[in-house]
Structure 1
Amino acid sequence: MMTEEMLAIAKENLQTHKVVDQEEEELKSLINPLHIWINRASAGICYHLIPLLLNGEIFGMETEISLHLLDRKGCEELLEATVMETQDLASPVLRGITMYTELDDQTFLDAEVIILLDDVLQEAIPSFEECIQQVINQCEMYGPLIEKNARSNVRVVVMGKTFVNLKTWMLITHAPSINPQNIVTVSLLLENEAKAMLARKMGMHPSGIKNLIVWGNISGNSFIDLSKTQLYRYDSAIWGPPDFFRELMDVLFDREWIRAEFLTAMSLLSSWEIHCVGIAPAHAIFTVLKYWYLDSPPGELVSLGVLSEGQFGIPEGIVYSMPVTFQNGSWKVSTDLQISEKNQEYLQNLTYDLIREKQVALGEVEELYPERKVSPVPHLAEEDESLQAEEEGNSTKYFKYIILLGGN
């Protein structure tokens, strides 16, 4: 194999191989990757989210992804470790990964997906108002950069536990050219946690629980709406085809458990940031993106924080968690739901906090909750009293969940 003829053939083959490689690289450079930006990327949520984004389930194995990880100064070591482990995945769809610890003119450049994780420094904030001021400062920086650098069809997902409804509204305000429908906040985490608890009670798999709705303020007063919840594959005396379901309230007779244990457990979910390693929040973000790109299951409602246009009599101009369906790359509020007059009153009462937060952000009022220690929902003030102590002990945590049982 060392004859002159074979060496000439080998040389020709090598040259051809180099030409082919160069052509492939040039062709690859013409294909723009999907740019995904994640802020507070040193958080555990991001660590669990990255493999989900790179598994090809949302964007397909033919779409290359360029990841951009953003965090504050002082987080370099964690970011570097995340970058290294992401590269070690050897994912065929990962075009590249970069890290940033400062905002500049290139932040969110060419972004098609932006995931904003909660990055308010709660331990350093003594009051609601100062917490809101941090949100204002962030949005005044992020909004114009998204407006200037991101793609016009960018999809922004806000995740967190500190004034996320307000943050979403302010991003919409400071990025006016972006379609407001493309900036949403995730309430699916609360929905999934409620489903998991109900599944343990009912002795079934959480995936069989459908149409549980989270209404209102994701990081404040919310309705966990069980009135339209359906159970599929529920082990009972009545069986049917795969699309057969039972109404939850027709088989869950323990109303005291709902009003006491279920309510208390949902109220204590404010501790998830301390104990949660990020798997559940990451999966919630992944699911929202998956539905957004590939549609939600037919007939299934998904809770999502979106800008109100007056649906269900909710005031326009606030971000409010509502039931939606995803189809053809967009979402639509399920306005065909029948809401009783009593429940409509509850939904209206939940707007108090959101309107008040907006007024503080705009400088129209100075205090968020002047002389108020209980929920604005008068019908449920008794349930609020058990949570007052926690609110008074930490003014930056305002998490109370209200159970809506339809006419019960």
Structure 2
Amino acid sequence: AAVAVFTGKANCPYYAKAEHLADYLQANLPNFRVHKITQHPEKWEQWLHNVCETNGWEHRQSPIIWRELLDRGGKGQLLGGLNEFLEYAQQYYGTTSMMLSEEMLGVAEENLQTHLEIVKEDEEIKSRIKPMQIWITSASGPICYQLIPLLANGEVFGMTTEISIHLLDTDQFKEVLCGIVLEAEDMAFPLLRSISQHTEIDEAFIEADVVIVLDDVSLNLEVQSRENYIREVSEICQVYAPLIEKNAKSEVRVISSGKTFANLKATLIMTYGPSIKPENIIAIATSWESAAKAMLARKLNMSTTG
């Protein structure tokens, strides 16, 4: 089974003509299936560039039309623009569109209004759904790359829970954080409402539902004593705990993770943040693989499968 995908600028008269013919073919042919996507005129060029780059196509105009084989998957087959589609319809189905320019312009205007209304409705629905606010400290570390897909694909918090991720680190890691944000945005996780970077410690943990503390120290007892490492960890927690108390939600859950001192960090956060509910502070002394996912989900009383 195949579906013809029609995409174009919402106000494009050529898209309107192609859509009109596609609707006719779908209504009159048993196996002709159509999927239509409109884009805002201001977003069209970037969207088109991304689609063509992903599929290895060359196309510069609106609309762009391709066929997808639903049972095989993989890359679609590019048909082209309006002229190519009209030739295709004439050759295979012996029909064409007699839509006049004035009618094309009128439908294009209607399409734009419909598109704007749909976007507005979607935004209103999203505004009513408050995403879970997740803050990750020391977020420039490589473990964050493993953690973001785990949080954003619904495996931990469920397939219906949208999330906003806040990456926190010092100013020297600003570029690293920016790279992580861009990469996560490119992955386009459906449950990831937003992802942002933060380097101002005073603004940390605002409205946080979950705080994941990734700060770790690389133990080398030949360089300095264990007591000095513990002092480092203690200083970090003395900064974080009061900020969590001040800025996070009252039911915030704090997850201390890392290869070293995970349990100590959890204990110190309890000590320096006495108003944080002790039962909401947990330690995961392992890497964020399947065992960590299962442990985290269990301690948060959630299913690991969403």
TM score, norm. by length of structure 2? 0.60
* In the alignment, structure 1 residue 46 sits paired with structure 2 residue 144: yes
Separation in 2 of the partners of 1:291 and 1:41? 24
Q: Structure 1: which 5+ residue stretches go unaligned?
A: 190-279, 298-408
Q: Structure 2: which 5+ residue stretches go unaligned?
A: 1-98
Equivalent AA in structure 1 for residue 151 of structure 2? L
Aligned to 2:227: 129
The alpha carbon displacement at 1:68 in A equals: 0.9
Equivalent AA in structure 2 for residue 287 of structure 1? A
Equivalent AA in structure 1 for residue 204 of structure 2? T
The alpha carbon displacement at 1:13 in A equals: 3.6
The one of 117, 120, 133 equivalent to 2:217 is 120
Aligned to 1:262: none
Aligned to 1:107: 204
Separation in 1 of the partners of 2:252 and 2:296? 12
The alpha carbon displacement at 1:157 in A equals: 0.9
Q: Is the 8 A contact 1:49 1:286 kept in 2?
A: no
* In the alignment, structure 1 residue 34 sits paired with structure 2 residue 126: no
Q: How does 1:148-187 map to 2 (within 5 A)?
A: 148-187=246-285
Separation in 1 of the partners of 2:160 and 2:303? 22
Q: How does 1:9-28 map to 2 (within 5 A)?
A: 9-28=107-126
Separation in 1 of the partners of 2:133 and 2:104? 46
Separation in 1 of the partners of 2:185 and 2:107? 37
Separation in 2 of the partners of 1:43 and 1:119? 9
Aligned to 1:388: none
Aligned to 1:292: 299
* In the alignment, structure 1 residue 70 sits paired with structure 2 residue 168: yes
Give the number of the structure with larger relative contact order, counting CA–CA contacts within 8 Å between residues 6 or more apart: 1
Aligned with 1:42: secondary structure? coil
* In the alignment, structure 1 residue 143 sits paired with structure 2 residue 241: yes
The one of 194, 205, 208 equivalent to 1:96 is 194
* In the alignment, structure 1 residue 84 sits paired with structure 2 residue 182: yes
Separation in 2 of the partners of 1:123 and 1:76? 27
Q: Is the 8 A contact 2:139 2:169 kept in 1?
A: yes
Query: Kindly tell me: are residues 161 and 5 of structure 1, through their superposed partners in 2, closer, same or farther at Cα, counting changes over 3 Å?
Result: closer
The alpha carbon displacement at 1:9 in A equals: 4.1
Separation in 1 of the partners of 2:302 and 2:118? 39
CA offsets 1:324-371 (integer angstroms, 9 cap, x no match): xxxxxxxxxxxxxxxxxxxxxxxxxxxxxxxxxxxxxxxxxxxxxxxx
The alpha carbon displacement at 1:8 in A equals: 3.2
CA offsets 1:246-302 (integer angstroms, 9 cap, x no match): xxxxxxxxxxxxxxxxxxxxxxxxxxxxxxxxxx444443222222345579xxxxx
Name the count of aligned residue pairs.
205
* In the alignment, structure 1 residue 59 sits paired with structure 2 residue 157: yes
The alpha carbon displacement at 1:59 in A equals: 2.1
CA offsets 1:97-146 (integer angstroms, 9 cap, x no match): 11123311x21111111111133365696222222221221111100111
Aligned to 2:9: none
Aligned with 2:166: secondary structure? strand
Larger Rg: 2
Separation in 2 of the partners of 1:170 and 1:11? 61
Give aligned-pair identity as a percent: 49
